[in-house]
Chains A and B, each alone.
Chain A
Amino acid sequence: NAGVTQTPKFQVLKTGQSMTLQCAQDMNHNSMYWYRQDPGMGLRLIYYSASEGTTDKGEVPNGYNVSRLNKREFSLRLESAAPSQTSVYFCASRRRGYLGQYFGPGTRLTVT
């Protein structure tokens, strides 16, 4: 089992460019999550998907969109990147009825 995988590991964008962060899990989990981690802020929830076919906003959704492509994959899209979106992005998944979330290794994004 690879667990939760994220691509790319690193990315540098110019202001206004768009990109999609990919996340996949092979644990047959129902729920998936996107977080961002900023210095001194901990992890903040951007969007989540409780099950295939549903998505909901988290604490900081502005400037992002998501797609739950199937049960395995949950992507995060930045339509017009801004320097304030420079952060480390983590994807996570959770098994139904289980509290803990399993995290991917993260994507470090820099917007110049």
Chain B
Amino acid sequence: DQQVKQNSPSLSVQEGRISILNCDYTNSMFDYFLWYKKYPAEGPTFLISISSIKDKNEDGRFTVFLNKSAKHLSLHIVPSQPGDSAVYFCAASKDYKLSFGAGTTVTVRA
């Protein structure tokens, strides 16, 4: 039973516009949430995280929003750049063990 879900397998966005990636979770015991980025033939790389006691965390062009009551988080990328084309995984942490969503493939169009 998947505890972390990314319901959009793919997202296409024009360069310079905002990319919004969504993630839902079922386990209220998760204490941190993370986003990872993955290029083909490489391992995932850590992008940004948020504690369950926060509702927003920002790092440059990347902002993660957490809505605990809805068990929902989102990643905003502004502005989107061609190098952002990758697979993005949402992950939730409990006791330092991660549960991952299935990923969203982002394509940034010139």
Contacts and interface: CB of A to CB of B under 8 A. Distances in A.
Interface of A: 4, 31, 35, 40-45, 48, 50, 58-59, 90, 92, 94, 99-106
B43 A100 contact: no
Given A42-B101, A42-B103, A99 B43 contact: no
B75 to A, nearest CB: 15
Interface of B: 2, 4, 6, 9, 32, 34, 41-46, 49, 89, 91, 93, 96-103
A100 B100 contact: no
Nearest first, the 10 A-B pairs at minimum CB distance are: A103-B43, A42-B100, A100-B46, A43-B100, A42-B102, A103-B44, A104-B43, A42-B101, A105-B43, A40-B102
Given A100-B49, A105-B42, A41 B102 contact: yes
A99 B33 CA distance: 10
12 contacts: A31-B96, A41-B2, A42-B6, A42-B102, A45-B99, A58-B97, A90-B44, A99-B34, A99-B96, A101-B46, A102-B46, A103-B45
Residues of A contacting B: mostly: strand
A92 B89 CA distance: 15
B90 to A, nearest CB: 9
A19 to B, nearest CB: 20
Contacts of B103: 42
B89 A43 contact: yes
Contacts of A45: 97-99
Nearest to A3: B43
A105 B45 CA distance: 10
